[in-house]
């Protein structure tokens, strides 16, 4: 059983008359990390506050050390952190000891937070104290034990196995998701989340594909100006591209209190259901 709270998440909500595309791209198995392709830069410190940054991949993702998360983050340090997130897209901080209140307070520095209660459909009960926290755990709020998934939840889980960004169904899509581990599965049974560097993947697209994508907007469950078959073919091609091993980085959840700051505008992730 596990609980990871996320400050923004997504709902699988598709027109029942439209069959979801049978995408073939899957995340890496939780027990198998893809080898990193290319050299990874060495650690470095930020000049103003001497925060330690350790890159995890040649083009994105890093760990962050040197922040005392038990106290409110001063604006100047937050500015450093924001710059790190903008550069690396996925930022890992180990053993933060953040409370729910501190999690919300720090997340608020990135912008207005969503009330996630409307996202929790499929008969789920919002069991957390605060509406800003999205509960991706599998604990029954009445028994405290792992609960079986409903059919709707199984469908949602299948959708979330694809590389995705959070809250893309909203008119105001998520800018950042801040994932915080509260309870993890036993070691050796899984427990990792994989991310893909969509910035570099886009840069590597052909000029013809970039021109084709210019101005296109995807709408959940709707097709405007494009037949379903054409839309599915295009999405399949893009998913296959961004899912290439050279763009992917697997991050393990090592202990309770680990936090991942995820920039939804420049990286993708599949939900790892060994963890959440």
At 193-245, the pLDDT tens digits run 889 999 999 999 999 999 999 988 776 666 667 888 888 899 889 989 998 99
pLDDT at residue 59 tops 60: yes
Structure tokens, 154: 């199984």
pLDDT bin (cut points 50, 70, 90) of residue 179 is very high
Task: Give the residue from 174, 161, 199, 242 showing the smallest Cα distance to 60.
Answer: 199
Three-class SS state of 105: helix
Q: Are 253 and 192 in contact (CB under 8 A)?
A: yes
pLDDT at 65: 96
pLDDT tens digits, one per residue of 93-119 = 999 999 999 999 999 989 888 887 777
CB within 8 A of 118, min separation 6: which ones? Answer: none
Please name the CATH architecture into which domain 3-268 falls: 4-Layer Sandwich (3.60)
pLDDT bin (cut points 50, 70, 90) of residue 10 is very low
Name the pTM for this structure: 0.80
Distance between alpha carbon 112 and the CA centroid of its chain, in Å?
Answer: 18
Cα separation of 21 and 236, whole Å? 9
Structure tokens, 39: 């050299």
* Mean pLDDT confidence for 7-31: 40
């Amino acid at each position: 059983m596990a609980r990871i709270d996320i400050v923004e998440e997504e709902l699988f909500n598709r027109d029942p008359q439209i069959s979801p595309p049978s995408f073939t791209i899957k995340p890496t198995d939780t027990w198998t990390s893809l080898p990193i392709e290319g050299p990874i830069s060495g650690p470095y410190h930020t000049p103003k506050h001497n925060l330690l940054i350790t890159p995890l991949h040649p083009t994105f993702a890093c760990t962050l050390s040197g922040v005392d998360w038990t106290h409110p983050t001063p604006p100047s340090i937050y500015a450093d952190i924001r710059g790190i997130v903008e550069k690396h897209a996925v930022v890992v901080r180990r053993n933060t000891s953040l409370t729910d209140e501190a999690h919300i307070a720090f997340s608020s520095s990135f912008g207005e937070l969503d009330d996630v209660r409307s996202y929790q459909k499929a008969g789920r009960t919002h069991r957390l104290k605060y509406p800003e926290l999205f509960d991706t755990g599998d604990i029954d709020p009445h028994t405290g034990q792992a609960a079986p998934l409903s059919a709707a939840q199984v469908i949602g889980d299948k959708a979330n196995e694809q590389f995705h960004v959070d809250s893309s169904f909203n008119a105001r899509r998520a800018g950042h998701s801040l994932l915080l581990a509260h309870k993890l599965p036993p070691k050796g049974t899984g427990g990792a989340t994989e991310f893909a560097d969509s910035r570099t993947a886009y840069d590597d697209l052909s000029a013809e594909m970039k021109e084709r994508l210019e101005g296109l907007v995807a709408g959940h469950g709707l097709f405007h100006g494009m037949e379903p078959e054409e839309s599915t073919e295009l999405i399949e091609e893009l998913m296959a591209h961004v899912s290439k091993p050279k763009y992917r980085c697997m991050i393990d959840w090592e202990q309770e209190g680990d936090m991942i700051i995820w920039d939804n505008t420049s990286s993708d992730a599949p939900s790892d259901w060994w963890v959440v």
